[in-house]
Amino acid sequence: MNPILLSPFDVAIAAVLILVDAGLSLALRLGLHRQLVWAALRMVVQLVLVGFILRTVFALASPPVTLAVVLVMVAIAGREVAARPEQRLGRFGNYAVGGSAVAIATFLTAILALTTAIRPQPWYDPRYAIPLAGIVLGSVLNGASLALDSMLGGVLRERTAIEAQLALGVPFYQAIRGLLRASVRRGLLPIINQMSAAGIITLPGIMTGQILAGMDPLEAAKYQILLIFLLSGGAGLAAVVVVYLVAFRLTDDRQRLRIDRLTAKG
Amino acid sequence: MPHMRLSLPGQLPMAPDDSGPARSPSPGVSRRPAQSAGEGSPEPRLRLVALRSALAGPFDLSLAAGTCAAIAGPSGSGKSLLLRMIADLDPNEGDVFLDGRERRGFTAPAWRRRAVYSAAEPGWWHDSVPPHFPPGAARELARALMPRLGLAATLFDSPVLRLSTGERQRLALIRALALDPPVLLLDEPTGALDQDSTAQVEAVLRERLAGGTAILIVTHSPEQAARLGQQRFRMHERRLESA
């Protein structure tokens, strides 16, 4: 494998495309040029910074530092999940639900992959653990976020239907089963779409990256397949954890629907 | 399912008139003891003792088997809150007894199958009618009740969305009746019905009363309250007043 290394000048040439976009925005009065250039600058700074941090962390090869980096990533993803819906669960419920779902799904999926399929030596080698946790996190974030949004919006919309069942003596978890199912489904749809489109509509990012880096396409495909399985597992797990944690927080010991624990954003 | 409440009430359950409530170890096995069995002073079918929440109450009420209490009062005065509290759908404190047995001795679903609340605006959780009735005896009972409430049997197989408001209201009542509960908590069950349908509903309710069911009904119609209610109340600022 002999990756073609990029010089800063190579990158600068690609940046011309951003300037072209900005020019278009000016010419067509889209009002996007400022936003576009600002976002591009942010992206460059963020990625270069991450590159430096990862280089340092890889060199340190210290398990506590690796764990700390992964935990920070998990916390940021959990916060994103919590912030997305229009509704808030009482007592920082969104953060508790989002954070624990993201953490559980990411750690289980990443550790499974590191100890069984990829098996670096040692299994917590940051060069593998951190990128893997990162890519799993992206999928987990998506799954958890959609499931949480669907649950919180759905429970408000279907309140009378759920309470009508409760009033007839239907147990709580049976009364909200339809909503749980719909929410998990919603969390899984993006990854299902991704799987069915993989390779035909888009060449997945990891595979592209590895081919560009000089890897044999079939080897790259195997890697990509493994990763997509991990992403599906992570997203599904996250969605399931989210819906059950939300359900648990929306009921009490008398199997009521505690809609009073839900407030509008603001 | 745990069925202890979060907070125990400050006071002990009030001592009943006689030796004490029959504390059956297994709630819900025999649920309709004959109130006409000639015992000295039978427990009321439904009894509320200082039932309250942050929003309404306290409420005290005693309803004998086979009797009906009618509650009137302006919108927002707390009528629905009271029914929901009895059905344990909203957090509440105080005590509720069914035939002398404490509510907390029942699991929440078991309690709600015995004190069935039928909301003024019924909810539907399926596109078609049959899944709203548990298969078996209850569904058969529901089918049998439909013509008695002026509903064509074919309605049972039509989509819920195609039913009229009045048809949905009667079907929701049938959902509650099909469980054959000892206590019915009815929130404006005839609010959307014409005179004839109202008379049919009342006839069925009277039949249930004769069978020993206790009914708590919220109604805006003084005539209906007079026709059905042995006890009549008015909800005023979230408290019950005798009317």
DSSP-assigned states of every residue in B114-132: HEEEE-SS----SSBSGGG
Residues A162, A155: contact at Cβ < 8 Å? yes
Tens of pLDDT along B187-241? 999 998 999 999 999 999 999 999 999 999 999 999 999 999 999 999 988 888 8
pLDDT at B29: 39
Which residues of chain B lie closer than 8 angstroms to A175, CB-CB? 125
Q: Which residues contact B228 (CB under 8 A, 6 or more apart)?
A: B68, B70, B202, B205, B206, B209, B215, B217, B219
pLDDT at B37: 43
Which residues of chain A lie closer than 8 angstroms to B91, CB-CB? 252, 254, 256, 258, 260
Chain B interface includes A164 (CB < 8 A): yes
Residues A223 and A259 in one domain: yes
Kindly compute the dihedral angle of the four CA atoms of residues B70, B72, B76, B78, in this order, to the nearest 10 degrees. -40
Chain A interface, mutation test: which of B1, B55, B112, most A Cβ atoms within 10 Å? B112
pLDDT at A111: 94
Residues A133 and A84 in one domain: yes
Angstrom distance (rounded) from CA A118 to CA A226: 9
Burial of A17: CB neighbours in 10 Å, binned 0-12, 13-18, 19+: exposed
Tens of pLDDT along B227-241? 999 999 999 888 888
User: Is the C-alpha dihedral spanning B48, B52, B58, B59 positive or negative?
Assistant: negative
B125/A158 Cβ within 8 A: yes
Residues A38 and A72 in one domain: no
pLDDT at A208: 87
pLDDT at A1: 53
Chain B interface includes A251 (CB < 8 A): no
Residues A222 and A141 in one domain: yes
pLDDT for residue A194 is more than 70:
yes
pLDDT for residue A93 is more than 60:
yes
Residues B95, B111: contact at Cβ < 8 Å? no
Which residues of chain A lie closer than 8 angstroms to B88, CB-CB? 254, 256
pLDDT at A188: 95
Chain A interface includes B139 (CB < 8 A): no
B89/A166 Cβ within 8 A: yes
Residues A164 and A38 in one domain: no
Residues A231, A198: contact at Cβ < 8 Å? no
**Mode of pairing for the β-strands spanning B93-98 and A262-264:** unpaired
pLDDT for residue B7 is more than 70:
no
Residues A72 and A54 in one domain: no
Residues A5 and A41 in one domain: yes
Angstrom distance (rounded) from CA A6 to CA A4: 6
B110/A169 Cβ within 8 A: yes
pLDDT, average across residues A98-127: 93
Residues A145 and A199 in one domain: yes
Tens of pLDDT along B64-74? 999 999 999 98
Residues B174, B146: contact at Cβ < 8 Å? yes
Chain B interface includes A178 (CB < 8 A): yes
pLDDT at B40: 52
pLDDT for residue B16 is more than 50:
no
The one-letter amino acid code at B13 reads P
B119/A162 Cβ within 8 A: no
**Two structure tokens written together for B167:** 């048809």
In chain A, whose CA is at the least distance from the CA of B2?
A253
B125/A168 Cβ within 8 A: no
Percentage of residues in chain B having pLDDT higher than 90: 68
Which residues of chain B lie closer than 8 angstroms to A254, CB-CB? 3, 5, 88, 91, 108
Site of tokens 């929701």: B172
Chain B interface includes A181 (CB < 8 A): no
Residues B63, B69: contact at Cβ < 8 Å? yes
Which residues of chain B lie closer than 8 angstroms to A159, CB-CB? 123
Which residues of chain A lie closer than 8 angstroms to B125, CB-CB? 158, 161-162, 164-165, 175, 178
Give the total residue count for chain B: 243
pLDDT at A146: 96
Residue among A17, A9, A23, A60 at smallest CA distance from A40: A17
Chain A interface includes B188 (CB < 8 A): no
Chain A interface includes B120 (CB < 8 A): no
Site of tokens 């749980």: A180
Question: At CA A36, angle to CA A33 and CA A40, rounded to 5?
Answer: 140
In chain B, whose CA is at the least distance from the CA of A254?
B108
Residue among A143, A129, A135, A105 at smallest CA distance from A209: A135
Chain A interface includes B119 (CB < 8 A): yes
Q: Phi then psi for B115, rounded to 5 degrees?
A: -115, 85
Q: Phi then psi for B116, rounded to 5 degrees?
A: -90, 125
Angstrom distance (rounded) from CA B230 to CA B227: 9
pLDDT for residue A58 is more than 90:
yes
Which residues of chain A lie closer than 8 angstroms to B90, CB-CB? 256
Residue among B72, B79, B54 at smallest CA distance from B220: B72
Kindly report the average pLDDT of chain A as a whole number.
92
**Two structure tokens written together for B80:** 């629905």
Name which of A230-234, A241-245, B15-19 the model is least confident about: B15-19
Which residues of chain A lie closer than 8 angstroms to B172, CB-CB? 164
Residues A236, A104: contact at Cβ < 8 Å? no
Residues A130 and A221 in one domain: yes
Residues A125 and A169 in one domain: yes
pLDDT at A110: 94
Of A13, A36, A60, the residue that ends a domain is A60
Residues A236, A84: contact at Cβ < 8 Å? no
Site of tokens 């009921």: A251
**Two structure tokens written together for A104:** 């559980």
Residues A110 and A126 in one domain: yes
Higher pLDDT, residue A203 or B143 = B143
Angstrom distance (rounded) from CA B147 to CA B128: 19
The count of structural domains within chain A is: 2
Tens of pLDDT along B113-131? 999 999 999 999 999 999 9
pLDDT at B47: 95
pLDDT at B210: 95
Residues A75 and A183 in one domain: yes
Of A33, A60, A87, the residue that ends a domain is A60
Which residues of chain B lie closer than 8 angstroms to A253, CB-CB? 1-6
Of A45, A60, A75, the residue that ends a domain is A60
pLDDT band for B41, please (50, 70, 90 cuts): low
Structural domain containing residue A243: 62-264
Chain B interface includes A252 (CB < 8 A): yes
A167/B118 Cβ within 8 A: yes
